[in-house]
A and B are shown apart, each in its own frame.
Chain A
Amino acid sequence: MMKTGIKRLSALALVASLVGCANSYVVLLPNPDGTTGKVIVTGKKGQQVIDQVSAAVPLDGSKAPEAISGDKIQRDFGAAIAARPLIPERFLLYFKSGGADLTAESAALLPKVLKAVSLRPAVDVSVIGHTDTVGDKEYNRGLSLERAQFVANLLRKQGLKVHALTVESHGERNPLVKTPDNTAEPRNRRVEISIR
């Protein structure tokens, strides 16, 4: 009798706590690459940080993170999770110094690029050219555009079919590796391809 009473009480408390947050909450999920990040919730009733997978907090920040079940995640987010588009893919192609010729390793990546493109519905692709800091900025802006166009044309010749394509030139302003001016850096002589 006593035991039942306690059970009933704790069930009531559970219901009360669920109603208390009105089921408006955020839950951390593992990243597609297997790592875990974090989210910070700032609400009317406080601030909470979640850094554990499956931990949840109400959006008003009133309670510390608490693990929730896979069943609940499925019930509340199954449809949203199932609708998730394929995670975008990114390729980096590298150039021989000073020109628009791909290194052999990078030329060999092109079939993988086309494959990633073909897997995605309404695929939109950005081809973004970059240089190192050898030469002046204007020259490099032109060179990085030339590199991006070269790669875009190469992909078209190999049968690229896209919903939208953008070709961009970042010159020497967006290096992968920060260097002083006039520094030859093979890792900065690149074209990024973002496939979404």
Chain B
Amino acid sequence: MTNTDTNRPVDEYVEAEVQRLLTEDGRISEQGLTVSRRGHTLILCGDVESVQRREEIVRLVREQFPGIDLQVDIGLTRAGAPTEAEELS
């Protein structure tokens, strides 16, 4: 079975392949995202640094795993200045 077979069931192997794709594909290179399954749905969760990176993740996962039920729960890291400091004295 290859990555481009359509309508693959979302099983452990798809989960493993997607997780490796997210890290090992140089267009993504995200190690800090979690991949999980709920029923027949594959869920991507975590934070990335830009909207473009999130869009590229969705595009590549859909391209490599066409037809899978995918839920994308990836947010953008917050880059505001902190409002408080922690006192460690």
**Do they bind each other?**
no
